[in-house]
């Protein structure tokens, strides 16, 4: 949820800046207020600004630092889009009035990975839990051997997920399984 809120805020600010820039360009191009924004036929960057930039090295250093900081900010935003927040613990007891029983999410995912990696059809398995502590969602990535029987591999993955659901005491545990064939 934190990433969604940050996305909305960042996109709203970026949209506002771009909207104001476009509005300013349209007002200048239509020559509505030439005494404030300049005439439509005059270059946007006049001789004074060009001379100032040529005479001051710090201007270019500041501009480069600004561009690098924008690039770093954009890359960190892009990295945040790819990250999925994983749970550290999950709540086993559905009704908190009777107590709060928690379980390490790594205990569940490690057990499921070990279960699947012991399967002869599976070359590699990774598991993670996302969502909320009360309603976790299981994400499973399984790479099977190229010569594996697809029906048998799917069946063994299904059985491993069913065992994990039984261990959690939730037969309706949502799960997303991505099966890949190794090369």
pLDDT in tens, 73-107: 889 888 877 776 777 887 777 667 777 778 888 88
Residue partners of 118: CB distance under 8 A and separation at least 6? none
Which pLDDT belongs to residue 125?
93
Which pLDDT belongs to residue 3?
67
pTM for the structure as a whole:
0.56
Measured in whole angstroms, how far is the alpha carbon of residue 70 from the centre of its chain?
18
Which pLDDT belongs to residue 38?
79
Backbone angles phi, psi at 151, to 5 degrees: -65, -45
Tokens at 157, concatenated:
């993955």
Share of the chain above pLDDT 90, in %: 33
Mean pLDDT check: name the lowest of 31-35, 85-89, 142-146, 159-163: 85-89
pLDDT band of 59, cuts 50, 70, 90: very high
User: How many C-beta atoms lie closer than 10 Å to residue 63's C-beta?
Assistant: 11
What's 87's DSSP letter?
Answer: P
The H or E element that residue 140 is part of is strand 136-144
- Residue range 131-150: average pLDDT? 87
- Residue range 115-121: average pLDDT? 91
pLDDT > 90? residue 62: yes
User: How many C-beta atoms lie closer than 10 Å to residue 92's C-beta?
Assistant: 16
């Amino acid at each position: 949820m934190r990433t969604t809120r940050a996305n909305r805020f960042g996109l709203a600010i970026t949209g506002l800046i771009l909207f104001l820039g476009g509005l300013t360009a349209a007002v200048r191009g239509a020559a509505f207020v030439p005494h404030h924004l300049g005439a439509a036929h005059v270059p946007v960057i006049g001789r004074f600004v060009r001379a100032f930039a040529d005479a001051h090295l710090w201007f270019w250093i500041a501009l480069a630092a600004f561009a690098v900081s924008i690039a770093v900010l954009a890359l960190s935003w892009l990295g945040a889009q790819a990250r999925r927040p994983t749970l550290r613990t999950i709540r086993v007891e559905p009704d908190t009035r009777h107590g709060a029983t928690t379980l390490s999410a790594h205990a569940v995912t490690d057990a499921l990975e070990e279960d699947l990696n012991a399967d002869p059809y599976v070359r590699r398995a990774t598991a993670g839990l996302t969502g909320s502590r009360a309603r976790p969602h299981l994400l499973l990535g399984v790479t099977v051997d190229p010569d594996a029987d697809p029906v048998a591999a799917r069946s063994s993955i299904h059985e491993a997920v069913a065992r994990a659901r039984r261990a959690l005491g939730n037969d309706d545990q949502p799960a997303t399984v991505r099966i890949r064939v190794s090369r």
